[in-house]
Amino acid sequence: MRKTLEQPKPRTTTHSVRSRVAIAKHPLHPMLVVYPVALLSLVFPADLLSLWFDTVFWSQTAFWMNAVGLAIGVVAGIAGTADMFLIRVVRRHVSAWNHFIVAVMVLAMAGLGVWLRAPDPAAAVWPWGLLQSGVLLLLVMIAGWLGGTLSFRHGIGVYGEGNPHEHEADDKPPAE
């Protein structure tokens, strides 16, 4: 039985780079990004259900998931972009730039989906809405994979253990 209420600490810790856009050390980008990932990845199944059942409900659901996913995705993107440009060591990772580019493509495809579906969600499903949501799902999976690689493999933008000033020297401009 434990004698204290302290969190258990592993014997070894991995290298981590603390997020600069955080509330009480909790990084905002990973907290926010789960919502657009969930919403935007469900647009394609909603489109398929709309075609299968031939009901307006699923096409309207796809529209609203696309619109809300885009809105929260923009907020999550702002937090992620701020982290990327505030931490020099992050900008040195190719996977960070890949994640950034694919995430911008996700937002562009979500914007296209809102534009396609806004006038008439039911009429937009076949064929262009389905194509858009299929490409969107693929891009969301790629962006999620790359973002997970940044967090879990490279320890970037995580809660951060250890010295918070460890990478301060990396954030200063090079001496001339």
Number of C-beta neighbours around residue 168 at 10 A: 10
**Domain assignment of residue 19, yes or no:** no
Q: Is the dihedral of CA 163, 167, 172, 176 positive or negative?
A: positive
**Spatial distance between the Cα atoms of 162 and 14, rounded to a whole number of angstroms:** 10
pLDDT at residue 22 tops 80: yes
Tell me the residue type at 20.
R
Report the Cα–Cα distance between both ends of the chain, in Å, rounded.
57
Which pLDDT score, from 0 to 100, does residue 174 have?
Answer: 47
pLDDT at 172 over 60: no
Q: What is the pLDDT of residue 24?
A: 86
Which residues on adjacent β-strands are paired with residue 23? 26
**Is 4 domain-assigned?**
no
Model pLDDT, residue 67 = 98
Query: In the 8-state DSSP scheme, what is residue 152?
Result: I
Q: Tokens standing for 85?
A: 């440009």
Cβ contact 90:156 at 8 Å:
yes
The pLDDT, as a whole number, for residue 128 is 95
- Is 2 a member of any domain? no
| Whole-angstrom distance, CA of residue 149 vs CA of residue 176 | 34
Give the residue carrying structure tokens 């994640």: 99
Question: What distance in Å separates the CA atoms of residue 55 and residue 57, rounded to the nearest whole number?
Answer: 5
Contact, 80 vs 22, CB < 8 A? no
Query: Would 1 be classed as within a structural domain?
Result: no
User: Which stretches of the chain are DSSP H helices?
Assistant: 28-41, 43-53, 56-86, 88-91, 94-117, 121-124, 130-148, 168-171
From 10-19, 29-38, 105-114, 149-158, the region with the lowest mean pLDDT: 10-19
Q: State residue 163's pLDDT score.
A: 52
**Is 172 within the bounds of a domain?**
no
- Domains in the chain, number: 1
Residue linked to tokens 């609203």: 64
Backbone angles phi, psi at 5, to 5 degrees: -100, 15
Residue of 8 and 27 predicted with greater confidence: 27
| pLDDT of the residue at 92 | 86
- Average pLDDT for 92-120: 95
Instruction: For residues 92-110, give the mean pLDDT.
Output: 94
Average pLDDT over residues 74-98: 91
Whether residue 14 has pLDDT greater than 70 = no
- Domain holding 38, by residue range, is 26-159
Query: What global pTM score does this model have?
Result: 0.82
16 in a domain, yes or no? no
Look at residue 29 and tell me whether its pLDDT is greater than 60.
Answer: yes
Q: Is residue 15 part of a domain?
A: no
Domain-located, residue 81: yes
pLDDT at 7: 62
